[in-house]
Amino acid sequence: MSRATVRTPEVQTKLPAVGTTIFTVMSALAAEKNAVNLGQGFPDFNCDPQLLQAVTDAMAAGHNQYPPMPGILALREAIAAKIENLYGHRYDPQSEITITAGATQAIITAILAVVRPGDEVIVLEPCYDSYVPNIDLAGGTVVRVPLTPGSFRPDFAKISAALTPRTRAIIVNTPHNPSATVWTEAEMRQLEDLLAPTDVLVISDEVYEHMVYAGARHESAARFPGLAARSFIVSSFGKTYHVTGWKVGYLAAPAALSAEFRKVHQFNVFTVNTPMQHALARYMADPAPYLELPAFYQRKRDLFAEGLAKTRFKLLPSAGTYFQCVDISEVSALGESDFCQWLTSEIGVAAIPLSAFYGDGFDQRVVRFCFAKKDETLQAAIGRLARL
């Protein structure tokens, strides 16, 4: 074969609008500038040594081959018990709980399972960056509905206006990334009432379920019968137990929805890391680690907020998640993206512009910091930000 015939065929991209994510860009810049990285949402501290020991024990015990496709039963039983204890809804661990390769895989699998070409899916902006590409890959039509600027609360008049006979699903995220807003019981009931006469499904992204502050309560879709009956509920062990790199999460849904979910799941990942599943099942026997998580992160939130109060940033409420959003209007005339580049390069602290979470790049002069960091990391960032 001559060299002239060797070529890579041209491929028409399925995701023409997708490039390198803002998280990758800002993390790379933070590394280049030796900046404190408060951009990407992951802890810089270790998990409980007991959890690591449980993984070692599981591997030593021979749990190193494929587990059942939906996940090991002991872990699914532990998840079902946790959901029932916290939210009052009983899922059948055999038919209604599936272990996933992180929450992101759970979300795309749910979308691929139920969204057909031409179906509409409502996303509430600002939203996590995987939602829209997932819908595009399924051939669905993205319908963007903005959360109320400033408060980031759901606007039910706009959501109602966006509903059509073609609406297949709505993606809801509470506690909310990036705004750190937590939906109220009244808002969840309003969503339940709004969807009651429809066949619209709910994909409820609840990965920060155990990070709610000041006595607030996480209002899982599982709490509300009308939502639970139509919802794919997604959560993440990575977020809860400080092991984001393990990429283990789960999905809870009624049996009929779970059956469709598993049809796709078995062909896009089949199953999930075996020793991690056994370790998590053992570790979940004690609920203290997730029950104590609100106090753990509220202390970090308050430490960071106290430091930021000495700057010209205007702090927005952080009711949940491990993010703190700030208004930069009194600090700089730059737009969000340019400000984050400048902050990383010149001040040595990386943040994420909220405009990255909007399809049209809507800029409201707000950026997001992550406070899931060691105290010394937060203090180092505060020291640098004090220059502002």
Per-residue pLDDT tens digits of the chain, which is 388 residues long:
566 789 999 999 999 988 878 888 888 999 999 999 999 889 999 999 999 999 999 999 999 999 999 999 999 999 999 999 999 999 999 999 999 999 999 999 999 999 999 999 999 999 999 999 999 999 999 999 999 999 999 999 999 999 999 999 999 999 999 999 999 999 999 999 999 999 999 999 999 999 999 989 999 999 999 999 999 999 999 999 999 999 999 999 999 999 999 999 999 999 999 999 999 999 999 999 999 999 999 999 999 999 999 999 999 999 999 999 999 999 999 999 999 999 999 999 999 999 999 999 999 999 999 999 999 999 999 999 999 8
**Cα separation values, 226 from 17, 25, 178, Å:** 36, 41, 27
Closest CA relative to residue 124, chosen from 90, 59, 174, 76: 174
**Whether the domain at 14-43+292-385 and the domain at 49-287 fall into the same CATH topology:** no
- Assigned token pair, 23: 């998280």
For residue 316, what pLDDT is reported? 98
Phi, psi (rounded to 5 degrees) for 379: -65, -40
- Domain segments of the chain as ranges: 14-43+292-385, 49-287
For residue 23, what pLDDT is reported? 83
For residue 5, what pLDDT is reported? 85
Separation of alpha carbons 4 and 18, rounded Å = 31
Separation of alpha carbons 39 and 342, rounded Å = 13
- Candidate CATH numbers 3.40.50.620, 2.40.50.140, 3.60.70.12, 3.40.640.10; the one for domain 49-287: 3.40.640.10
Cis-peptide into 43, omega within 30 deg:
no
For residue 328, what pLDDT is reported? 98
Q: What class, spelled out in words, does domain 14-43+292-385 have in CATH?
A: alpha beta
For residue 3, what pLDDT is reported? 65
Separation of alpha carbons 143 and 125, rounded Å = 10
Question: Are the CB atoms for 370 and 39 separated by under 8 Å?
Answer: yes
For residue 234, the surrounding DSSP H or E stretch is strand 231-236
Which DSSP symbol is given to 97? E
For residue 318, what pLDDT is reported? 98
For residue 2, what pLDDT is reported? 60
Separation of alpha carbons 238 and 318, rounded Å = 21
Any idea of the CA torsion for 356, 242, 301, 369, to the nearest 10 degrees?
-20
pTM listed for this prediction: 0.96
Separation of alpha carbons 178 and 193, rounded Å = 26
CA–centroid distance for 142 within its chain = 19
For residue 131, what pLDDT is reported? 98
